Amino acid sequence: MKVLLVDDEKHVRDAIRLLVKWQQYGIDTILEAKDGEEAIQLVQQEQPEIIMTDMMMPVMNGVKLLEWLHANAPTAKTIVISGHDDFSLLRHTLKYGGMDYILKPIDPSQLNEALEKAITAWLKEEEQRHVSRELNIEVNSIKPMYWDKLLSSILAEPAAYEAAAEQLEKELRLPRGVQTCRVAILSLDTMERSVKNKFAQNLDLLIFSLINICNEFLTKNRRGFSFRHWNSQHEIVLLVWSELAELEDLLAAINEGMRAALHTRVDFGLGHVHPFPAGFQSAYQEARSALRQRNLKSKETWIHRFTPASKAAPQALAFNQFETGMQLAVQSGNIDQIGEAIQHFIDAVKDSDVVTPEQLDMWWSEYRVMLRRWAPQLVPAAREAELKELLLDDQASMIIPLDERGMLSLSIWQQELSRSLTHLSKLYVESQQKDNNVIFEIAAYLDKHYHEDISLQDIASRFYLSREYISRKFKQEFNVNLSDYLGSIRMSKAKVLLCNPHLRISQVAEMVGYQDEKYFSKVFKKIEGMTPGEYRKTTNSI
């Protein structure tokens, strides 16, 4: 461990060397600096764990050094040794991470006690840093991602197995002679809402935890391996190649492990036995189909086996059956009407004996298409930011409406439908209001008559409103005052006209509403950062 002594008086540094039992604290290197600048150089080169510094020094004092250490060497522990009993210096010491403030002349016991406290604190934090580094190495290890990608590629193209067979046997204990396999799947989309909410800010950590739990059981007797499906990021695939007949018991045990570790259970889709690797993809598709076609209105089991009978029957209920009613409700601008239109759809779903994740996916896709079709018609002038949330472009926004127990909860979906349709209705009503809004009429007038000599009084007289009202409402609507709005229009037109080298600047000024060329140039430079002439030089004229 290293200590750096910083003081402009050598006899003070010598005294500190004599007063401390360095070896007792495991300190084998003592460095010295006579000011803050020398100290910074030594900190950068030697990275001492403990720094003892004076406050009043030439070149760079201790105040500035503490600030630098706080920003650039945050793990180092600092002890201030000063001849000044000044509260502002003490406060600065505490503000920038100082462990102690010792007054000169130095009390040996006080100095040794402060040093022991600093070393103890540093060792404790270093242990925490070490644990954190180890955890980061484990979590961010490239190995899991490598297996995810490799096994996903074999799932997509079984011929890729041969090139990786030796490595898979060595690392995952997947024997070359394996002839058959089964696949089980679990998906985050169908997990209990409470668990997903808990890991909402770090779904990767949840997936990492789930895969670890699965592999604790699968690798114990070299029965299989689980991985994150590379092409379906919220899906975990369990590839099993041994004791296939007992796989359901194994999945039940895995679920108990998840209950113990994460206080939740998950639904598994399970396929039949297939040849490996040729049938790996078929086994996967069966497991995925079983999971997506399970009945969300019934919770009889956590393990869903694929059978041909589980394929969903043709659905008479389609979301677009309710489109007309919902669109009229949105245009009404009435929350009760919107709620009633949504309720018609919810009631139809309730009357269905079977509701599967696959059906929900279909309805949600129909809903997104419907919104994308409506938006240009109902709110053609809406800003992109206003529409982004409404149009649900993020694939992850598809909602599987499950309650805390993983059961179908139509109220969750009803709330989301109500939220998005109410938002659209609000945009529609605002759009209609803007069409008749006198402030927008004023803006349109400015857009058309920018080249004329227009004053606020002229606008007030033309639209029969007070100047104060126009100024206030215009600023509220456009976040800029009327004169600046007019100026921005004029400058935009002027830039276009300046591209014509045959027009004099005085002509351009007059064409955009300025009778005084100098004033025009002044305003242009203020807004654009250059004179009209300078701007003209940047254009490519014909």
Tens digits of residue pLDDT in 17-27 = 999 989 888 99
Question: Measured on CA atoms in the order 340, 342, 346, 347, is the torsion positive or negative?
Answer: positive
Residue 78: φ, ψ to 5°:
-115, 135
What residues contact 200, with CB distance under 8 A and at least 6 apart? Answer: none
Specify the pLDDT at position 373.
Answer: 87
Does residue 277 contact residue 260 with C-beta atoms inside 8 Å?
Answer: no
What is the CA angle 372-373-379, rounded to 5? 80
Tell me the domain boundaries of the chain.
2-139, 142-306, 319-434, 438-538
Residue 224: φ, ψ to 5°:
175, -165
Is the domain 142-306 a CATH 3.30.70.270 member? yes
Whether 191 shows a pLDDT value over 80: the answer reads: no
Other C-beta atoms lying within 10 Å of the C-beta of residue 253: 12
Q: Please compute the mean of the pLDDT values over residues 200-227 and round it to a whole number.
A: 91
H-only helix segments in 186-334: 193-198, 203-218, 247-262, 280-292, 323-332
Would you put residue 333 in left (φ > 0), alpha (ψ -120 to 50) or beta?
left
Q: How far apart are CA 29 and CA 467, in angstroms?
A: 77
Q: Please compute the mean of the pLDDT values over residues 240-248 and round it to a whole number.
A: 95
Q: Which amino acid is at 303?
A: I
pLDDT over 90 percentage in the chain: 54
Q: Please compute the mean of the pLDDT values over residues 198-219 and round it to a whole number.
A: 89
Q: For residue 433, give both structure tokens.
A: 């209001």
Tens digits of residue pLDDT in 123-171 = 999 888 888 877 765 655 567 888 999 999 999 999 999 999 999 999 8
Tens digits of residue pLDDT in 104-113 = 899 999 999 9
pLDDT over 70 percentage in the chain: 90
Q: Which residues of 492-528 are buried (b: 16+ CB within 10 A; e: fewer)?
A: ebbbebbeeeeeebbebbbebbbeebeebbebbeebe
Whether 182 shows a pLDDT value over 60: the answer reads: yes
Does residue 417 contact residue 425 with C-beta atoms inside 8 Å?
Answer: no
Strand partners for 2 = 29
Q: Please compute the mean of the pLDDT values over residues 489-511 and round it to a whole number.
A: 92
Judge residue 258's burial from the number of C-beta atoms within 10 Å of its C-beta, 0-12 exposed, 13-18 middle, 19 or more buried: buried
Pick the residue with more confidence: 409 or 333?
A: 333
Could you tell me whether strands 180-187 and 268-270 are parallel, antiparallel, or unpaired per DSSP bridges?
antiparallel
Q: How far apart are CA 450 and CA 428, in angstroms?
A: 30
Strand partners for 79 = 52, 100
What residues contact 542, with CB distance under 8 A and at least 6 apart? Answer: none
* DSSP category for residue 412: H
What fold is seen in the domain 2-139?
Rossmann fold (3.40.50)
DSSP string, 323-362: HHHHHHHHHHT-HHHHHHHHHHHHHHHHT-S---HHHHHH
Specify the pLDDT at position 338.
Answer: 94
Residue 522's SS3 state is helix
* DSSP category for residue 276: T
Does residue 145 contact residue 219 with C-beta atoms inside 8 Å?
Answer: no
Question: Among 7-16, 41-50, 394-403, whose mean pLDDT is lowest?
Answer: 394-403
Q: Please compute the mean of the pLDDT values over residues 185-194 and round it to a whole number.
A: 78
Does residue 491 contact residue 450 with C-beta atoms inside 8 Å?
Answer: no
Strand partners for 183 = 239
Tens digits of residue pLDDT in 351-395 = 888 888 888 888 888 888 888 888 877 876 555 556 666 665 554
Tens digits of residue pLDDT in 437-479 = 788 889 989 999 999 988 999 999 988 888 898 888 888 888 8
pLDDT band at 299 (very low <50, low <70, confident <90, very high): confident
Percentage helix, strand, coil, to 5, in the chain?
Answer: 60, 10, 30
Q: Which of 343, 171, 187, 181 is nearest to 247 (CA)?
A: 181
Tens digits of residue pLDDT in 251-279 = 999 999 998 998 888 899 999 999 999 99
Q: For residue 154, give both structure tokens.
A: 């074999």
| Residue linked to tokens 């694929």 | 306
Is the domain 438-538 a CATH 1.10.530.10 member? no
Specify the pLDDT at position 397.
Answer: 47
Does residue 254 contact residue 213 with C-beta atoms inside 8 Å?
Answer: yes
What is the CA angle 472-475-476, rounded to 5? 85
What is the CA angle 526-530-532, rounded to 5? 100
Predicted TM-score (pTM) of the model is: 0.52
Q: Which of 406, 404, 399 is nearest to 300 (CA)?
A: 406
Residue 234's SS3 state is coil
Q: How far apart are CA 114 and CA 106, in angstroms?
A: 12
Specify the pLDDT at position 132.
Answer: 80
* End-to-end alpha carbon distance in the chain: 73
Mean pLDDT computed over every residue of the chain: 87
